Amino acid sequence: MENKLLAALSEHELQRLMPLLTRVSLAMKQVVYRQNELIDYVYFPATTIVSSVATMEDGSVMEVATVGNEGMVGLPIFLRTDRTTLSAYSQVVGDAYRMTADDLRAEVQRGGPLVNILLRYTEALLIQIAQGSACNQLHTIRQRCARWLLMTHDRVGEATFAITQEFLCQMLAVRRATVSEIASSLQEAGLIRYSRGKMTITDRQGLQAASCECYNVIRLEYERALAEI
């Protein structure tokens, strides 16, 4: 089981839930849910990565959180609401396990292992959002870009993944020219290789040095959350 939350369940509990889970493939930029609309499904990413984003009145967007195989997308359902002011869409082509919102509500009502796991995950996600907010205010775009690439690398598990400059602009809330400048700087330093929408991490240790402390804060919190489940 690639999703770490589901993998934390006992074999008996996982087998009980499997009929409620459907493995689906998500394309790049596929909408998972839209702001202020009903959330019909929750997703446990396996090989995909999903971004939760805030959209402004002028159409500009800013990433609020990234969810990979360490988490679940659709947390408002777990928190007993049915919609959110955020939108969510996949940023990497891959698979996820999908469950209907009604089935998750029934599991929450039932109580049990999955509820305890999602409570601990919620805490870790809130720390990611808080740390990310501080990072956006205090650290350079180059550091933020390095952090974002490291987190994506962790979740994908491969050195090469597809990503467009347009997507990086949205995730970092900067102009395309700024993304081009930062990507060129990281490439000239030998940390990445980027061409035609393909990103390759060529020096992970160097990329970590180029990032800020926020990467390790977030990574260690998720490791701690999973260890305590």
Domain coordinates of the chain in residue numbers? 4-135, 140-211
Q: If you write DSSP's letter for every residue of 69-98 in order, what string do you get?
A: TTS-B-HHHHTT-S--S-EEEEEE-EEEEE
Q: State what percent of residues in the chain have pLDDT above 70.
A: 100
Stretch 78-84: mean pLDDT, rounded?
Answer: 93
Determine phi and psi for 35, rounding to 5 degrees: -60, 140
Residue 14 binned pLDDT confidence (cut-offs 50, 70, 90):
very high
Average pLDDT over residues 42-55: 94
Percent above pLDDT 90 for the chain: 69
Q: Is 0.75 topped by the overall pTM?
A: yes
Beta bridge mates, 41: 100
Condensed to tens digits (0 to 9), the pLDDT of residues 95-147 reads 999 999 999 999 999 988 999 999 999 999 999 999 989 998 899 999 999 99
Nearest-angstrom CA–CA distance, 144 and 177 = 16
Q: CATH second-level architecture of 140-211? A: Orthogonal Bundle (1.10)
Model pLDDT for residues 52-79, shown as the tens digit of each residue? 999 888 888 888 888 999 999 999 999 9
> Is the pLDDT reported for residue 1 higher than 90?
no
Residue 204 pLDDT = 96
Confidence band for 23, pLDDT divided at 50, 70 and 90: very high
Which residue, among 17, 156, 136, 143, has the nearest Cα to 93 in the 3D structure?
156
Any idea which architecture 4-135 has in CATH? Sandwich (2.60)
Sign of CA dihedral 211, 4, 162, 89: negative
Say what the pLDDT of residue 90 is: 92
**Average pLDDT, stretch 90-95?**
90
Tokens describing residue 45? 């990413």
Please give the C-alpha separations between residue 36 and each of 3, 66, 91, in angstroms, as whole numbers: 27, 19, 21
